[in-house]
Amino acid sequence: MPASKTKAALFYNYPSALEGEVFGQGRRERIAALTDLYPHVVDAGNFDEHAPHLADVEAIFATWGMMDFTAAQRAKLPKLKAVFYAAGNVKAFASSLIDNGIILVSAWAINAIPPAEMCFAQILLSLRGYFRTVRQYRAVQSFGARKYWRPGVKDETVGLIGLGYIGSLVRQKLRDYPLRVIAHDPFLTKERATELDVTAVSLEDLFAKSYIVSNHIPDLPTTRGVLDRKLFASLREGATFINTGRGAQVLEADMIAVLKKRPDVTALLDVTAPEPPAPDSELWRLPNVIISPHIGGTTGHEVVRLADCAIEEFEAWRAGKPLRYQVTQDVFRTMG
C-alpha cells in the first residue's frame, strides 16, 4: 500500500490582493497534491472554529499573518511536527514552536533577494550621482545640476553594515564591478571576509571611507541607536546613506541634524522608526531624503518564490533529508 499523505493545513492572514498571493499561481494546488490538505485557511481569528478538525495535522504551511500559538492552542495540535513559513521574519511566533520541539523552516534567505536587489540598484544609481543630480536639476533647471564629482561605478568604496542574508547578497551582486567593498559586522570571521572579498573595518572607518553606506543590521537590542551624529557627520562629500535594514539602528534626530547641515549627503530610507515617520518629522521635508514605504520586501509575482522554498523544504523533510532553512535556537538568536 502507498504511504499515507501528510496531513497539512494553511495558516495565514494576509491581504494578498495588495502584495500578491504567496500560495497562488498553482502553489496551493501543489501543496494539496503533496499532502492531505485541510481545505480552509486558518488564522488567530478563526482558530477555535477550525481546531476540532486539526488534531491530526502534522505540517503547517504559513506566510505573513501566521499566529503565535498559546500553550492551549498548541495542545489542540498534538501531532504538529513542522511549520514551513513562506516569508521571512519569524520573531512574532517562533518561540512557541522551536521551544517545544516543532521544526520551523523560514524562507528568510529567499525573502532577502528583493531588498538586496533594491539596494544594489540604489548603490549603482548613487555612484552615478543620480539622486543628488535629480534634486539639483529641479532646483536650477540647467546642466549645472551635474557639476560636482560623480565617481561612477569604478574604483569607489562601498560600505556594508551587516553581512547577513541581505548584506551578503548585495556584496555578491557588486562582484561584477570594480569597487572596493568594506564591511562592519561583529560576527564576520576572517574566513568569511576572504570568501566575500571584503575588508573588515570599524563602524567609524566605514562611515568615513565609504562613498555609499548601506545598513543591513538585524534588529537586536544591542544594535538599536548605534548609528549616531558623529558617524553621519563623518560621511564623505556627496555620500549616500541607504537603509533597507531597520530604522531602530538610526538615532533619527542625529541623522536629521547632519542632513540639514549637509545638503551634499543623500539618505535613501526604506525603513524608519517609527514607520511611517511622524507627520511633523523633518524627514518628509528634507530635499536630500527619499523615503519609501518599506517596499524592499517580496511583492507581486515574486511572492510565490517563498512558497516554492517552503514546498521544497517540506519535500526534503518528508524524505528525511537535511533542511537548508531550518530556524534553530542558535539561528533564531541572531535574527533581527
The one-letter code for the residue type at 333 is R
Residue 213 C-alpha from the chain's centroid:
17
Residue 15 in this model has a pLDDT that exceeds 80: no
pLDDT in tens, 25-51: 999 999 999 999 999 999 999 999 999
The C-alpha cell that represents 29 in the structure block: 494546488
Highest mean pLDDT among 143-147, 186-190, 205-209, 242-246: 205-209
The predicted-structure confidence for 85-130, as pLDDT tens digits, reads as follows 999 889 899 999 999 999 999 999 999 999 999 999 999 999 999 9
- The full length of the chain comes to 336
**329 confidence band (pLDDT: 50, 70, 90):** confident
- Residues 165-172 have a mean pLDDT of 95
Q: Where are the domains of the chain?
A: 7-111+299-334, 113-291
Q: What are phi and psi of 215, to 5 degrees?
A: -95, 125
Q: Is the pLDDT of residue 336 over 60?
A: no
Model-level pTM greater than 0.85? yes
Arithmetic mean of pLDDT, 194-207: 97
Question: Hey, do 7-111+299-334 and 113-291 end up sharing a CATH topology, with the first three levels equal?
Answer: yes
Q: Give the CB-side neighbour count of residue 37, counting CA atoms within 13 A.
A: 17
Q: Which region, left, alpha or beta, applies to residue 214 given φ > 0 means left and ψ of -120 to 50 means alpha?
A: beta
Q: CA neighbours within 13 Å on the CB side: how many for 300? A: 4
pLDDT score of 133: 95
Q: What confidence tier does 326 reach under pLDDT thresholds 50, 70, 90? A: very high
Sheet of 7-11: strand order equals: 36-42, 7-11, 59-62, 82-85, 103-106
Starting at the edge strand found earlier in the chain, the sheet holding 180-184 runs 199-200, 180-184, 157-161, 212-215, 240-243, 266-269, 289-291
Q: Which three cell numbers stand for residue 119?
A: 539596494
pLDDT at 59: 98
pLDDT at 333: 58
At the topology level of CATH, where does 113-291 sit?
A: Rossmann fold (3.40.50)
List strand residue ranges (DSSP E) for 250-316, in order.
266-269, 289-291
Nearest to 132 by CA among 52, 239, 209: 239
pLDDT at residue 2 in the model = 52
HSE-CB at 325 with a 13 A cutoff on CA atoms is 26
DSSP 8-state assignment for residue 250: B
Check if CATH label 3.40.50.720 holds for domain 7-111+299-334: yes
What percent of the chain shows pLDDT beyond 70? 96
What's the pLDDT band for 334 if we cut at 50, 70, 90? low
What residues form DSSP beta bridges with 159? 182, 213
Mean pLDDT of 269-286: 95
pLDDT value of residue 26: 95
CB 256 within 8 A of CB 284: no
Radius of gyration of the chain (CA): 23
pLDDT at 1 over 50: no
Q: What is the predicted pLDDT for the residue at 131?
A: 96
Torsion, CA 203, CA 204, CA 205, CA 209, rounded to 10? 100
Average pLDDT over the chain, rounded to an integer: 94
Average pLDDT over residues 279-300: 95
Q: Tens of pLDDT along 201-235?
A: 999 999 999 999 999 988 778 888 999 999 999 99
Whether 317 contacts 103, CB under 8 Å: yes
Grid cell 565609504 in the structure block, residue: 210
Cβ atoms of 296 and 272 closer than 8 Å: no
**Phi/psi of residue 131, each to 5°?**
-70, -40
Q: Which residue is listed with cell 488567530?
A: 44
Cell digits of residue 133 = 543630480
Q: What is d(CA 165, CA 292) in angstroms, rounded to the nearest whole number? A: 21
